Amino acid sequence: MNQKCNPIGVFDSGIGGISTLKEMIRELPREHFIYYGDTANAPYGTKSTEEVIGCVRKVVEHLQEKQIKALVIACNTATGAAAAVLRKELTIPVIAMEPALKPASEKREGGSILVMATPLTLQMEKFNLLMKKYGEGAVRVPCPGLMELVEADDGEGALEYLKHLFSQFDLDKVDAVVLGCTHYVFLRDMIRDLLPDHTAITDGNAGTARQLKRVLARNGLLNETGEGKVEFETSGGEKDLKLMRKLMQSE
């Protein structure tokens, strides 16, 4: 059977990974994607590593029943907790992501870099290694509760949260802000309005999409014919599916 036509499984603890999915569709418009939001178990970012691995295994087991040809972990927290484990357990390619600290470090001009992420992501060994390489001037900024505001589609709550968060820093001395959770990408315009013009904003979505394309090509799995499609699934309810579709249509 020709595996090229098989779907690509993409998952996140909730809806945030749709920001990653949109980049992947731009990069790979002929592919069939199945996006799974584990909203019933969200958030991952305040759970223990063992709890996250348990949630992830259930999601992956479900996606494997769909005959996926590759797996994308569209969640920084799940990447840090489970990517290495999954790569040992699965025979298909596993594409993961990490906070975009490297591109942020390239934009640093002596100021600081604020790395916004879930508490668990910032505690992970994977992130510690990233800090050792590219973390000069970087400040960990845990954002408990922010992902939940995105999940709740609470724009006013998110704005108040961000105003309070940024009030703790001298923003004129901040060269870059890293959106270290896929959910935060949906707040990019709001964050942009709160930051000085000179402050760069980075996220890992485009890099993840390019990596997926490279891995599929290397393994002879690129689908180069037909039209792409997207399916949405969730461990939550119809309300979550509606929000996923809404965010998919947003710019």
Q: Which two tokens stand for residue 121?
A: 């992501």
Best CA proximity match to 94, nearest among 77, 116, 79: 79
Q: Is 84 exposed, middle or buried (0-12, 13-18, 19+ CB in 10 A)?
A: middle
Best CA proximity match to 180, nearest among 20, 21, 24, 58: 20
Known catalytic residues are 75, 181
The residues, any chain, with a CB within 8 Å of residue 150's CB and separated by 6 or more, are 14, 15, 16, 158, 183, 184, 186, 187
Q: What are phi and psi of 205, to 5 degrees?
A: -65, -50
**Measured between alpha carbons, how far is 188 from 237 in angstroms, rounded to an integer?**
26
Contact 182, 164 (CB under 8 A): no
Best CA proximity match to 31, nearest among 41, 23, 42, 39: 23
